């Protein structure tokens, strides 16, 4: 417990968590706006019950948000100055893994929890739940994998 406490205090002292949250607010405005506009405002010509609008909308959120996130987190949050394709690759792998896990888990859980609700209600709630899970996974993935500091 003491190690966990010291770890949490270290995150707060160096402000990377605070900076990550600020960057996340910008990403949330840009990406979430993209996602909900695509899902709810585009006249999708797909059969009833199709998964296409859900996956296209959530993916667009993370393509747009990830571009913004990469540059803001690299230079502002984690303050890494060097440029490498390895870092771009690790960031991309992290985003893809977090996206797949977050939305792959959120949708079936929300559909189960909201059995009987309209598909659009289930999908909108699943998108919100996926966002929350994504943020949690993404912070640790970026801090310890994508933008890890070399000792």
- Assign 3-class secondary structure to 56-110: HHHHHHHHHHHHHHHHHHHHHHCCCCCCCHHHHHHHHHHHHHHHHHHHHHHHHHH
Nearest to 146 by CA among 75, 74, 98, 79: 74
The 8-class DSSP code of residue 115 comes to T
- The structure tokens listed for 57 are 């909308």
pLDDT of 22 higher than 90: no
| Per-residue pLDDT band at 13 (split at 50, 70, 90) | low
- Report percent pLDDT > 90 for the chain: 36
Least confident of 15-19, 48-52, 102-106: 15-19
Exposure class string for 60-83: b at 16+ Cβ within 10 A, else e: bbbebbbeebbebbbeebbebeee
Each residue of 45-73: pLDDT tens digit? 888 888 899 889 988 988 898 888 888 88
Least confident of 7-11, 34-38, 51-55, 114-118: 7-11
| Per-residue pLDDT band at 151 (split at 50, 70, 90) | low
Could you tell me if 77 and 20 are in contact, meaning their C-beta atoms sit under 8 angstroms apart?
yes
- The structure tokens listed for 108 are 């079936």
């Amino acid at each position: 417990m003491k190690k966990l406490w010291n770890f949490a205090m270290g995150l707060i002292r160096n402000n990377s968590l605070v900076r990550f949250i600020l960057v996340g607010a910008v990403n949330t405005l840009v990406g979430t706006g993209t996602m909900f506009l695509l899902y709810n405002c585009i006249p999708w010509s797909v059969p009833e019950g199709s998964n296409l609008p859900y996956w296209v909308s959530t993916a667009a959120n993370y393509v747009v948000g990830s571009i913004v996130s990469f540059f803001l987190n690299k230079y502002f949050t984690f303050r890494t100055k060097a440029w490498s394709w390895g870092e771009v690759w690790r960031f991309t792998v992290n985003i893809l893994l977090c996206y797949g896990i977050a939305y792959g888990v959120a949708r079936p859980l929300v559909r189960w929890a909201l059995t009987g609700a309209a598909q659009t209600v289930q999908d909108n709630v699943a998108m919100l739940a996926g966002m929350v899970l994504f943020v949690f996974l993404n912070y640790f993935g970026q801090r310890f994998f994508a933008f890890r500091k070399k000792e």
